[in-house]
Amino acid sequence: MFALQPEMKVFSGSANRELAQRICDSIGAPLGQATISSFPDGETYVRIEENIRGRDVFIIQPTSPPTNQHLMELLIMVDAARRASADRITAVIPFFGYARQDRKDQPRVPITAKLVANLLHAAGVSRVLTMDLHAQQVQGFFDIPVDHLYSMPVLIKYLRTRLTRKSVVVSPDLGGLKMASAYSQALGANLAIVAKQRKTATDTEALYVIGDVEGCDVLLVDDLTETAGTLTSAARILKQRGALDIYAGVAHAVLVDLAIPRLQKSEIEELITTNSTPVRAVEGFKTTVLCVSELLGEGIKRIHNDESVSSLFKIDSNTSN
């Protein structure tokens, strides 16, 4: 005799409630009631307002700025769910902060991505669902299952309507070559690379271009932009090499103050990103925000039903070029 599937309950932290509501709408589940507030001294208070004993609980919370506050809020929500006897707790983290701190590249520095993985496990997370990790090896930092989705199928659908002329997909640095190659194959476009030199944490300099972009539209692809330094410096040198319209496709646009004037003055025609985190509007600059609620919602449904999520990585092979 088969055991009954535990009932699904979906909750959201305060980081991106709009996305959480859209995910719930896409899967036909109500967004659970939870009280999240702060004490006068800044400590986070959480109370789950529904019975979740024996339920399959999903907590949606990207660790977008303010990163530490949203991470701590997620950990406290998980602890509340565990102490309320939830059957299983899945942390749905559309944007996983601290993923860039994935190795010791200098003396006496932490591997913070591993620390965050340990904290989530210790708090009581049974499984993690995330999207477009900065470094895929972060999955190996967890001692629990990690389902890693990609926003590429969502972006490709839109990009095919924009890149109607001869196009080149460009990686703005050597580390993003694998991602750029996947986009170029899906779009039927050529591939190029911009080699860069990082001057400071917020400043980069594009040095040279490997590949031909003259007379072509260009798509710059990256997993994350915060200051827009890498994208805008790459766009500048690509324009000098004869590129036509330049677009930027980015999974997570965590735009800080420094990014706004850079984008406004840049050679980039349009930034295409997702709502994995709340995206700031940039006056006088075109930003297109694509919704990933159906992608994440389908991932949640398949995890709940103990089904494979690997087919979500498939992309229609039809191209417009």
pTM for the whole structure: 0.92
Active site residue 301: no
8-150+294-313 has which CATH code? 3.40.50.2020
Residue 84 is predicted with a pLDDT of 98
Same topology between domain 8-150+294-313 and domain 152-291: yes
Contact 56, 304 (CB under 8 A): yes
Going from N- to C-terminal start, the domains of the chain cover 8-150+294-313, 152-291
Q: What does the longest C-alpha to C-alpha distance in the chain come to?
A: 68
Catalytic: which of 104, 196, 239, 301? 196
What pLDDT, in 10s, does the model give residues 81-126? 999 999 999 999 999 999 988 888 889 999 999 999 999 999 999 9
Contact 170, 233 (CB under 8 A): no
Q: 152-291 is classed in which CATH architecture? A: 3-Layer(aba) Sandwich (3.40)
Neighbour-count burial of 2, counting CB atoms closer than 10 A to its CB (0-12 exposed, 13-18 middle, 19+ buried) = exposed
What pLDDT, in 10s, does the model give residues 220-244? 999 999 999 999 999 999 999 999 9
